Amino acid sequence: MFPIEKFSSIRTPFYYYDMALLDATLQEIQKYLKPNYHMHYAVKACTNADVLKHVAQAGFGCDCVSGGEIEACLAAGIKAQDIVFAGVGKSDWEIELGLKAGIGFFNVESIPELEVINEMAKERNTTAHVSFRINPNVGAHTHANITTGLAENKFGIDMEDMVDVIRMAQQMSNIQFMGLHFHIGSQLLVMDDFIALCHRVNELQDKLEAEGIQVPNINVGGGLGIDYQDPDGNPIPNFKAYFEAYNDNLKLREGQHLHFELGRAVVAQCGSLISKVLFVKKGHYKQFAIVDAGMTDLIRPALYDAYHLVQNITSPENAPEKYDVVGPICESSDVFVKDHTMPAVKRGDLVAFRSAGAYGEIMASQYNCRRLPQGISSEKL
Chain contacts with ligand LLP (rule: CB under 6 A):
42, 45, 63, 86, 146, 148, 183, 186-187, 221-224, 261-265, 300, 304, 359
Q: Where are the beta strands (DSSP E) in the chain?
A: 14-17, 37-42, 61-64, 83-85, 105-108, 128-135, 157-158, 175-181, 217-219, 257-260, 271-282, 287-291, 310-312, 320-326, 335-343, 350-353, 374-377
Q: How many CB atoms lie within 10 A of CB 281?
A: 13
Shortest separation between residue 185's beta carbon and ligand LLP, angstroms = 7
Phi, psi dihedrals of residue 203, rounded to the nearest 5°: -60, -45
Output the smallest distance, CB 6 to ligand LLP, in A: 28
Collapsed DSSP state (helix, strand, coil) of residue 132: strand
CB-wise, 174 or 187, nearer to ligand LLP?
187
With a CB cutoff of 8 Å and minimum separation 6, the contacts of 379 are 19, 50
For residue 282, the minimal CB distance to ligand LLP (Å) is 32
Question: How far apart (Å, rounded) are the C-alpha atoms in residues 268 and 302?
Answer: 18
Calpha distance 295→302 (Å, rounded): 7
Q: Which is nearer to ligand LLP, 18 or 193 (CB)?
A: 193
Nearer to ligand LLP, 48 or 148 (CB): 148
Query: What is the CB-side half-sphere exposure of residue 83 using CA atoms within 13 A?
Result: 30
3-class DSSP state for residue 250? coil
Residue with Cβ nearer ligand LLP (69 or 324): 69
In the complex, least distance from residue 148 CB atom to ligand LLP, rounded to whole angstroms: 6
Q: How big is the chain by its Cα radius of gyration, in Å?
A: 22
Q: Please state the closest distance from residue 32 (CB atom) to ligand LLP, in A.
A: 15
User: What DSSP character marks residue 147?
Assistant: B
End-to-end CA distance of the chain: 14
CB of 124 to ligand LLP, least distance (A): 26
Shortest spacing between CB 93 and ligand LLP, in angstroms:
21
Nearer to ligand LLP, 42 or 97 (CB): 42
Nearer to ligand LLP, 263 or 276 (CB): 263
Q: Which is nearer to ligand LLP, 300 or 354 (CB)?
A: 300
